[in-house]
C-alpha cells in the first residue's frame, strides 16, 4: 500500500509539472529556472531516451505498458526483491514508467522540460528522474546489499540455516 501511495504521488508530481509547462511555456521556448544551471524548456519528445525511436511512438507506448505491468507484478508478488529498500527502488522506477506512459497514451509524445545550461544534455522530465534514480538505486542495492538483506528477509543466516 505504501508503494502505491509513493507511485501515485510521484506520478501526480510528474503530471502537474508537465501540465504547468504545457500551459505556461510556448513549445520550444525556455524560461530561467536555476540560473547558470537549468532552464525550463517545453519540448515534445516522440521517442525514448535522447529521442531514439521517435518514429515508433506506438511501440514505445506498448513497451511502457508492458514494463509498467511487470513492475507492478514485481512489487505485488515480491519477484526479484522482498525487502523494503528493493521495492522502494522498483516503485520509483514504476512511477517514472507510468508518468511517461500517460503522456504517450494521451498525447503521442512525452513532455520534457528540464534543460541543463552548464552542459549539453538531453531535455528531461520528473518521470525520467524517477526512472534514473530508481534504476541506479536498484542496481546499487542489487550489487551491494541484495544477498545480505534478502537472506535476512527470508529468515536465513549466513550459514544458510533458519534463524
Q: List pLDDT tens digits, range 80-123.
A: 888 999 999 999 999 999 999 999 999 999 999 999 999 999 99
Given the residues 39, 103, 128, 158, the one annotated as active site: 128
Strands 110-116 and 38-45: antiparallel
Strands (E), 98-159: 110-116
pLDDT by residue (tens digit) across 10-65?
Answer: 999 999 999 999 999 999 999 999 999 999 999 999 876 555 555 657 788 888 89
**Three-class SS of residue 34?**
strand
111 in a structural domain: yes
103 in a structural domain: yes
Of 126 and 145, the one with more pLDDT: 126
35 in a structural domain: yes
23 in a structural domain: yes
Give the helix/strand (H/E) hosting 140: helix 126-144
> How many domains, the chain?
1
Does 14 qualify as catalytic in the annotation?
Answer: no
Q: How confident is residue 163, by pLDDT bands cut at 50, 70 and 90?
A: very low
162 in a structural domain: no
161 in a structural domain: no
Q: Check residue 31 and give its pLDDT.
A: 97
Q: Check residue 137 and give its pLDDT.
A: 97
159 in a structural domain: no
Q: Check residue 156 and give its pLDDT.
A: 56
CA distance linking residue 153 with residue 57, whole number of Å: 40
pTM of the prediction? 0.86
Does 39 qualify as catalytic in the annotation?
Answer: no
* One-character DSSP codes across 74-111: HHHH--S--SHHHHHHHHHHHHHHHHHHHHHHHHSSEE
Given the residues 14, 39, 103, 112, the one annotated as active site: 112
Domain of 96 in residue numbering reads as 2-154
Rounded to a whole number, what is the largest CA-CA distance in the chain? 62
45 in a structural domain: yes
CA distance linking residue 144 with residue 149, whole number of Å: 10
* One-character DSSP codes across 42-60: EEEE-SSGGGTTTT-HHHH
Q: How confident is residue 160, by pLDDT bands cut at 50, 70 and 90?
A: low
User: At a CB cut-off of 8 Å and minimum separation 6, what does 77 contact?
Assistant: none
Amino acid at each position: 500500500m505504501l508503494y502505491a501511495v509513493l507511485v501515485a504521488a510521484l506520478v501526480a508530481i510528474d503530471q502537474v509539472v508537465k501540465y504547468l509547462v504545457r500551459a505556461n511555456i510556448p513549445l520550444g521556448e525556455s524560461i530561467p529556472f536555476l540560473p547558470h544551471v537549468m532552464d525550463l524548456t517545453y519540448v515534445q519528445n516522440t521517442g525514448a531516451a535522447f529521442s531514439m525511436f521517435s518514429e515508433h511512438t506506438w511501440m514505445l507506448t506498448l513497451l511502457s505498458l508492458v514494463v509498467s505491468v511487470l513492475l507492478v507484478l514485481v512489487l505485488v508478488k515480491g519477484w526479484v526483491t522482498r525487502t523494503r529498500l528493493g521495492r522502494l527502488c522498483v516503485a520509483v522506477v514504476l512511477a517514472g514508467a507510468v508518468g511517461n506512459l500517460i503522456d504517450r497514451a494521451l498525447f503521442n509524445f512525452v513532455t520534457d522540460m528540464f534543460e541543463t545550461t552548464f552542459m549539453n544534455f538531453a531535455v528531461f522530465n520528473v518521470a525520467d528522474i524517477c526512472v534514473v534514480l530508481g534504476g541506479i538505486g536498484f542496481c546499487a542495492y542489487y550489487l551491494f546489499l541484495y544477498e545480505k538483506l534478502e537472506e535476512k528477509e527470508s529468515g536465513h543466516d549466513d550459514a544458510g540455516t533458519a534463524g
